[in-house]
Amino acid sequence: QVQLVESGGGLVQPGGSLRLSCAASGSILKINAMGWYRQAPGKERELVAEFTGGTNPNYADSVKGRFTVSRDSAKNTAYLQMNSLKPEDTAVYYCNARVLTLTGWNREVWGQGTLVTVSA
């Protein structure tokens, strides 16, 4: 069993900042990819930023230069620092991880989601 626990969402004014955290736990041998997706009302879930095994993470064009994803491999934790937030960043943010479990299975896991609201 693998779990992702997210924290850090909330209400922020346009131009403000928030930091999201996602901690993975359970029978994890290796995390192959880890990052963040979001889903705004009436829209499909989309990639925000993630590590997929390379040195450099992938970012959605809409957040480049404003959001930074980072990770602490020792803690199996990922972070999303969001600066210069805009109303269009309002969404439920989901942590995602693709892991290799201790029993040799590849699993894709989602967090419960955390709401980010950008509004004056």
Residue 50's pLDDT is what? Answer: 95
- Mean pLDDT estimate for the chain: 95
Sheet holding 77-82, edge to edge: 2-7, 18-26, 77-82, 67-72
Q: What is the pLDDT of residues 77-119, one digit of tens each?
A: 999 999 999 999 999 999 999 999 999 999 999 999 999 999 9
Please compute the mean of the pLDDT values over residues 5-20 and round it to a whole number: 97
**Secondary structure of residue 71 in the 3-state scheme:** strand
Q: Round to whole Å and give the CA distance between 100 and 95.
A: 17
Measured between alpha carbons, how far apart are the two ends of the chain, in Å? 40
- What are the CA-CA distances from residue 24 to residues 16, 38, 40, 57, 117 (Å)? 27, 18, 24, 18, 24
